[in-house]
């Protein structure tokens, strides 16, 4: 367990350093959906031996693919005992940072592998890394179109100029998907199962695939919202692949948060998972690579996060 834990920390540490150190000049503007796919295609064409591109089975509400690029020395197949890792960005459509960082990360991994960077070669050859730049492509398009529609006449030459000079400013528009559902709150509430199972010493509290399937077949989430195609296809993606570690990149507060995201009584309080120490270590390995995140002096609103991390349920 110790060596596996150390390896997981190494994955996060390396990827966080990459995300924070890659030059901003590589991506000077937002990528629309087609441009995003073009970047992935370009990376695959440059590094076909270590990459593979696939779409999840279901498309978004507005029929846009949820596309993933994989990095590994055997990218099409899971290898026994090789860790599977994933980054997901743009779950909230108007939060573009994760989308752009993941695209740049894909370019960086390919470039450095071809260049012979030993650290990157070791990471790619011993891990299967799945990168999804945008889980909510519809929300991104909605946010951009709204910003363009409310801009002053002749203020910008075109949408690309607007994005480069101004971006999108309404944090509510495009946050949800095309059906107006917040995808971040549309997944099955597996915490409920875990807290219930904690009263039964003989019941497992992990690998809850059956519980996930049962919840999805109920058609509605715990907020009484119908499960969305984006959520359903990502949930089945998670069940199909033995991911040992995942991260979801958002805009907003400068913090790395870790499980659990809810407490047994739904009150705001620290709620540790069985792997709490490891999750703290993973969160710190990310935050310590970012001086703004690590410092409690830099915070949005009234929240201050010591060491730049927080338990989700305590937030």
| Domains, the chain | 1-180 (3.40.630.10), 252-315 (no CATH)
Those residues whose C-beta lies under 8 Å from the C-beta of residue 155, and which sit 6 or more positions away, are 162
Q: Locate 149 and state its tokens.
A: 């529609």
How far CA 6 is from CA of 47, 168, 243, 274, in Å, comes to 28, 39, 16, 17
Spatial CA neighbour of 176 closest among 146, 152, 150: 146
Cβ-Cβ contacts under 8 Å for 277 (sequence gap 6 or more): none
Whether the upstream peptide bond of residue 276 has omega within 30° of 0, thus cis, is no
Give the span between the Cα atoms of 94 and 201, in whole angstroms.
Answer: 43
Strand-pairing partners, residue 69, are 53, 131
Per-residue confidence (pLDDT) for residue 51, from 0 to 100 = 99
CA count, 13 A, side-chain hemisphere, 295:
5
In this structure, what DSSP letter does residue 220 have? B
What pLDDT is recorded for position 22? 54
Instruction: Specify the pLDDT at position 59.
Output: 98
pTM for this prediction:
0.90
Cβ of 87: how many Cβ atoms within 10 Å?
22
| pLDDT for the residue numbered 2 | 45
Q: What are phi and psi of 19, to 5 degrees?
A: -60, -35
In tens digits, the chain (315 residues) has pLDDT values of 444 455 555 566 566 666 655 544 456 788 999 999 999 999 999 999 999 999 999 999 999 999 999 999 999 999 999 999 999 999 999 999 899 999 999 999 999 999 999 999 999 999 999 999 999 999 999 999 998 888 877 788 888 888 877 777 777 899 999 999 999 999 999 888 888 888 777 777 778 888 898 889 888 888 899 999 999 999 999 999 999 999 999 988 888 999 999 999 999 999 999 999 999 999 998 888 888 887 765 545 557 788 899 999 998
Q: Which two tokens stand for residue 277?
A: 């120490």
Q: Which of 11, 5, 183 minimizes the C-alpha distance to 105?
A: 11
User: Of 41, 46, 49, 130, which Cα lies nearest the Cα of 88?
Assistant: 130
């Amino acid at each position: 367990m110790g060596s596996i834990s150390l390896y997981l920390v190494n994955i996060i540490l390396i990827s966080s350093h990459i995300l924070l150190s890659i030059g901003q000049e590589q991506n000077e503007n937002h990528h629309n959906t087609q441009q995003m796919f073009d970047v992935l295609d370009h990376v695959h064409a440059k590094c076909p031996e270590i990459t593979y591109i696939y779409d999840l089975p279901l498309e978004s509400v507005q029929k846009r693919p949820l596309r993933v690029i994989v990095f590994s020395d055997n990218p099409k197949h899971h290898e026994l005992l090789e860790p599977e890792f994933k980054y997901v960005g743009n779950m909230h459509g108007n939060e573009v940072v994760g989308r752009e960082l993941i695209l740049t990360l894909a370019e960086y991994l390919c470039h450095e592998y071809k260049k012979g960077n030993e650290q990157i070669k070791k990471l790619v050859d011993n891990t299967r890394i799945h990168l999804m730049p945008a889980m909510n492509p519809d929300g991104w398009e909605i946010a951009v179109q709204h910003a363009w529609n409310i801009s002053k006449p002749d203020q910008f030459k075109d949408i690309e100029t607007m994005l480069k000079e101004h971006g999108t400013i309404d944090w509510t528009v495009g946050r949800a998907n095309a059906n107006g559902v917040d995808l971040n709150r549309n997944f099955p509430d597996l915490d409920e199962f875990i807290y219930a199972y904690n009263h039964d010493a003989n019941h497992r509290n992990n690998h809850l695939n059956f519980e996930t399937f049962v919840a999805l077949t109920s058609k509605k989430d715990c907020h009484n919202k119908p499960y969305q195609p984006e959520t359903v296809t990502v949930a089945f993606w998670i069940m199909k692949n033995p991911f040992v570690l995942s991260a979801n990149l958002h805009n907003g507060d400068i913090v790395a948060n870790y499980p659990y995201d809810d407490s047994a009584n739904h009150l705001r309080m620290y709620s540790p998972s069985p792997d709490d120490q490891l999750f703290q270590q993973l969160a710190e390995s990310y935050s310590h690579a970012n001086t703004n995140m690590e410092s409690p002096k830099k915070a949005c609103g009234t929240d201050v996060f010591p060491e730049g991390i927080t338990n989700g349920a305590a937030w």
